[in-house]
Each structure stands twice: as C-alpha cells, then as structure tokens.
Structure 1
Amino acid sequence: MQPKKVLLIAGPTAVGKTALSIALAQQFNGEIISGDSMQVYRHLDIGTAKVMPDERQEIPHHLIDIKEVDQRFTVAEFVSRTTALIDDITKRGKLPIIAGGTGFYLQSLIAGYQFGSSDLEPDLDYRQKWFDRAASQGPQSVWDVLNERDPQAAQAVEPANVVRVVRALEYQHTSGQLFSAQADQMTTKLDAYTLCLTAERPLLYDRINQRVDQMLAAGLEDEARWLFDQGGIELPAGKGIGYHEWFPYFEGASDQQAVIEAIKQDSRRYAKRQLTWFRNKMDVNWISLLEHPEERDSIDRFIASWLN
C-alpha cells in the first residue's frame, strides 16, 4: 500500500507556523491537524495561541477544543486520532497538514508507532509515566531501565527512539513477557515531509517576548485565573506554560512582574528545547522565513515536487 502523504510544519513557538500552515493549506488543498498538546483544551485560547475560527481562512482545523481541562491528552491518543484524521483527509482527496506539536508526538506518528498490542489492554498511565520521565530526565534514563529488564530489546533500539523504548516497557508490563520474545510489528505508513521553521536566537526570543506581552493584553491573567479556580494546580492542563506560572501569584506567594518574567523565560527555554529536539531527533528541512521570506518560493516548489 502506498504510504499516505502528510506535511508537517514544525518549529519553536512564535516562529510563524500557524500562518504558514494556513497559506499552504490554501495552496495545496489541505486540512490542518493541530499537533499542540494544549490547544486540545476548551476555554484555554490565549495562553495556547489557539487559532480561532475567524482566523482560519475557512480551512478546516482538527484536534482543537476536544478536551476539558481535567482530561489528559496523551501521545497515544494523539497518534490514534491523528492517524484516523490522516486516513479521512486523504480519502477526501486533500492534504493532511500537521501544524506545531512536540517532538515526542511527531516522532511517534512518523515512526508508525503502534501503542499496545491488539490483544492487550493498554495502560495509558504507565505509558505516559515513561514519556514524562524521558522529557524530564532524558531518553537515556528510560533506555537504561529497559536495558536492565530486557537487554536484548534495548540493544535493538537507540536510546533516542523513546517511543520504541516505551513500547517495549509497556509490552512487558501488560503481557508479563519480554518484548524481545515477540516480533516487532512497527510499520511506517506515512510519507512525511517536515518543514521546520527557525530563526536566529535574538529575533526568536524577541518575538516570544512580544507574544507574551500580546497575550497579557488579550487577557491571559483572567484565563489563567479561571483555570486556577477549576483546580488548575492539579489538572493536566495546569502544567502548560503561560498558566502554571500564575498559580503562586494567585496564592499570594509571588508578584505579577515575576510571573510575566517567568512566562517569558519558560517560553524561551521551551523554544530552545524544541530546536534541539528537531535538530537531533528528526529529519527535517530547515527554513528561516522570518529572515529570508524569499525562501517561500522554494517551499512551494519542494512541496509540489514531493506531492507529484
């Protein structure tokens, strides 16, 4: 079966992914799938830089406003939902375009990772625990655990391939058998073309700071307070940048200026981590449209050639 084509628009925050994805969707008859793990939440519009209906230029957008703030959205659900959307969009003769997204999510999708065996009940909490550990302590720490429990499986996968490492751990957890004892059923189903937008660090950081200021002017504090009042400290959605920084302030343990600086700093650090991930973990085509807008013509030619 011919792999389905999917266009990915990746890159750090505030680099112009939304505008480019809409323009390319218009040009190449596409529909957009949000790869952002926070835009799935209803009521969180400002802090997530959610593209609102009046900004979508009549382009269908998917995986936006599909969760309440007390619900979890995991990489497994992202892969499952996005795979189904890609199938549907492709069948209708349109181009699936994934805009944004964390490295874990996109890598999982492109690798064709199958979360759980068809005859085993998946353990989403167990799975997410390891993805969270990889994000906080590094992929090597998760691989080391697999190497202790199933050395043969560990030797067959690179530590950086977190989705496969976690798959092996979950298989052992749910089945009681070593992953190395069963055949690897990973398949690659997608023909993915990934554009990764970037910019020189001073320009990128300046845009991030400006975006935070715009969010504040648009009412970010009120949105964060609403989330706090829903129990945000304990909620999955409460971990998002732009929200959790406010919680000490609402509890009287911080001041507003410290919150603003924390949001800007966390956003800049997140952008740096995003760039590092895409540089080291994925095969992408780097584009610097902010500094070289003339490269847009090259993008159009590359995509047209890839599609044909």
Structure 2
Amino acid sequence: MIKVVAIVGPTAVGKSALGLKLAQKFGGEIISGDSMQIYRHLDIGTAKDSPMELRQVPHHLVDICNVDQRYTVKDFQSKAKTIITDLNQHEKLPLVVGGTGFYLSSLINNLNLGGQSTGADQTRAQLLEIEQTEGIAQLQVILKNEDPQAFEKIDIDNSRRLIRAIEVMRTTGKSITDQNNGNQWAEFYLVGLTDDRTKLYNRINQRVDKMVEMGLLDEAKAVYDEQAKIPQAKNGIGYKELFPYYAGEASLEVCLDEIKKNSRHFAKRQLTYFRNQMDVDWYNISDDQNYQSVIETKIVNFLDGK
C-alpha cells in the first residue's frame, strides 16, 4: 500500500520547517496542504517557504494558480492523489504539509466530492452521531460484534479508529486489519505539532510582525486593489484585515492586531479540527526538545510496517 506522511497542526507551529528536514532525511517530496499557498504572488501572507527552501526539496501544489482562479477541495484531492501515486512509483516518500483540515480529510478519507454521498460517507455520519449521542462505549460494542478481529488489535479507546474500522467492515465486508481490504487507497502517518498556548500565540504574533518587515503591506495592497477580480484569494487571513487601513477606515495598528487575533482564532480551530477528526500522533515542541528524532524513528517504523 502507498504510504504517506502528513504534518498537521496550527499555524506558526513549525510544520514547514519540519517538513523540509524530514524530506531531506527520507528523500521525500513535499505536497502543500494549504488552501492559499497555491496562489502565485501571495508569498508573505501565506507563509510560503522561501525560494531557497523551495529549491532544497521538490514542492508540489505551490504557485499553481493565478489569484483570480478558483481552487476547490476537489481540485486539491485529485491533484494530490495523482502526485502521491507518482511519487510512490518512483520510491519517493510523499510528505503532505499544511493546516487546511478539510483538504487533509478529503485526501486521507478519500471522500466523495462529486455531490452524492457514498455508502462510506453515510456510514461515517451515522457513526459520528452514535458517538455524540451514546458515547465511545457503544462504538466499542458495535466493533466487537461486527469485527472482533479488529476489536482485539486496534486502540479501542480511540473513537476515530473505532469509526474507521467499523466503516471499513461495513463498506467492504473485510476487516481493517486485513491490508487487502481495498477500502484505503493509501496508509497515512499523521504527525501533529503543537505548543503551549501562550508560546504558540507569541509565535503567531511574532510571525505577523516578521511578515510586515518582509513586505506584507505591499502584497496586501495589491490584493486590495484587485479584490473585485479575486473573490477567493482576497479572503485569506493577513490580507482582508488590512482592507480598512487602505480604505482609510482604521489605523495600521488596529488592522495588524486584527490579523494577530484572527490568526490565533484560526490556530484554535485547526487544533480542534485535527484532534476531533483525525488520528494524529501529537508532539508538543516545547515539552520534548528531541521530538524530531522521535518522529524520525516513528516514520521508519511506519515505513517498515511496524
């Protein structure tokens, strides 16, 4: 089965830096899982890797659209699957790096985005409702009855794994522990980076200040001037908050504070999404200074099937 490593977590936590190091370590290539880095000329506000970093390791799904183009989660899913399959054929490790939760979910869960629900989508929705109304204990009962083999092998205290195992059994008739069940198109190891809230928020504030030093105001002004032509790109955090400044309706200080506030709120939403919707192996970057070496060992084991 195709194996993919994904690095997720809140904005400004260091996902891109880790992705570069891991790609160099394992001879991999990076696939951006960010909904804004696809746009050309939006470099600073989207926190793209620098031109030098982009040259160090092959990057995919970066700078592939003009700002007036629409880009959907379906576009991402289709392109990312093609790239991952190609990298696998060339024995390159795909590393998906980004914080757009639904993009990652569409890829990992192979969601049907054509407008009609599949059996798997309906099953997942039913199981999520059971979790909310009856709790994890009921999911454990269902799995034990329907797939006792998986019940003995997976972490039954993890609701995401329970739901996934039941979903696989119901939609394929085979256990998730059978690697030939055919339901999963790829196997993912999800690395999650986080930090203490105060430290993370300080990192976010410092990043915004650094963006201003790098020329964010000029980049955002170009977006403001063309906003009527770019209905999707203009909504990115770091751009829209500055529109009142260019319109003479608010001070620069107020607008920059708004960017910082919205970025902090976005980080909180990202953490909530990844924790609730995905089976992530989390690492607090302040608690363990050796987290990178631990992650490298986990990836080796993942690639070896351990």
TM-score range, shorter chain: 0.7 to 0.9
Task: Among all aligned residue pairs of Structure 1 and Structure 2, give the percentage whose two residues are the same amino acid.
Answer: 47
Shift of 1:101: 2.9
Shift of 1:53: 2.4
- Give 2:30's aligned amino acid: I
1:40 alignment counterpart: 38
1:158 alignment counterpart: 128
Note if contact 1:42-1:67 (Cα within 8 Å) is conserved in structure 2: yes
Q: Whole-Å Cα distance in 1 between the matches of residues 130 and 228 of structure 2?
A: 32
Q: Of residues 210, 214, 219 in structure 1, which corresponds to 2:215?
A: 219
Shift of 1:153: 7.5
TM-score by length of 1: 0.77
Shift of 1:24: 0.5
Question: Residue by residue, what CA displacement relative to the aligned partner does 1:253-272 show, whole Å, maximum 9, x if unpaired?
Answer: 11111100000000000001
Shift of 1:103: 1.1
What SS does the corresponding residue of 1:293 show, helix, strand or coil? Answer: coil
Note if contact 1:14-1:211 (Cα within 8 Å) is conserved in structure 2: yes
Q: Whole-Å Cα distance in 1 between the matches of residues 282 and 289 of structure 2?
A: 13
What SS does the corresponding residue of 1:78 show, helix, strand or coil? Answer: helix
What SS does the corresponding residue of 1:5 show, helix, strand or coil? Answer: strand
Alpha-carbon distance change, 65 to 232 in structure 1, aligned in 2, over 3 angstroms: farther
Does residue 79 (structure 1) correspond to residue 106 (structure 2)? The answer is no
Q: Whole-Å Cα distance in 2 between the matches of residues 155 and 224 of structure 1?
A: 40
Question: Residue by residue, what CA displacement relative to the aligned partner does 1:233-255 show, whole Å, maximum 9, x if unpaired?
Answer: 85200000000001121112111
Alpha-carbon distance change, 184 to 76 in structure 1, aligned in 2, over 3 angstroms: farther
For the aligned residues, what is the CA RMSD?
2.4
1:173 alignment counterpart: none
Q: Whole-Å Cα distance in 1 between the matches of residues 262 and 273 of structure 2?
A: 16
Note if contact 1:111-1:187 (Cα within 8 Å) is conserved in structure 2: no
Deviates more, 1:261-270 or 1:70-79: 70-79
2:28 alignment counterpart: 30
What SS does the corresponding residue of 1:36 show, helix, strand or coil? Answer: coil
- Give 2:283's aligned amino acid: I
* Structure 2, gaps ≥5 residues long: 132-169, 173-181
Q: Whole-Å Cα distance in 1 between the matches of residues 130 and 184 of structure 2?
A: 18
1:190 alignment counterpart: 186
Shift of 1:17: 0.6
Does residue 299 (structure 1) correspond to residue 295 (structure 2)? The answer is yes
Q: Of residues 89, 92, 97 in structure 1, which corresponds to 2:90?
A: 92
Alpha-carbon distance change, 25 to 14 in structure 1, aligned in 2, over 3 angstroms: same
Alpha-carbon distance change, 155 to 6 in structure 1, aligned in 2, over 3 angstroms: closer
Q: Whole-Å Cα distance in 1 between the matches of residues 230 and 124 of structure 2?
A: 34
- Give 2:224's aligned amino acid: F
Q: Whole-Å Cα distance in 2 between the matches of residues 299 and 203 of structure 1?
A: 21
What SS does the corresponding residue of 1:41 show, helix, strand or coil? Answer: coil
1:247 alignment counterpart: 243
- Give 2:199's aligned amino acid: L
TM-score by length of 2: 0.77
Shift of 1:300: 1.2
Note if contact 2:11-2:99 (Cα within 8 Å) is conserved in structure 1: no
Q: Whole-Å Cα distance in 1 between the matches of residues 256 and 229 of structure 2?
A: 18
Alpha-carbon distance change, 160 to 216 in structure 1, aligned in 2, over 3 angstroms: farther
Note if contact 2:10-2:99 (Cα within 8 Å) is conserved in structure 1: no
Note if contact 2:99-2:270 (Cα within 8 Å) is conserved in structure 1: no
Q: Whole-Å Cα distance in 2 between the matches of residues 8 and 264 of structure 1?
A: 26
Q: Whole-Å Cα distance in 2 between the matches of residues 306 and 41 of structure 1?
A: 33
Note if contact 2:36-2:46 (Cα within 8 Å) is conserved in structure 1: yes
Shift of 1:297: 1.9
* Structure 1, gaps ≥5 residues long: 117-121, 128-145, 147-151, 162-182
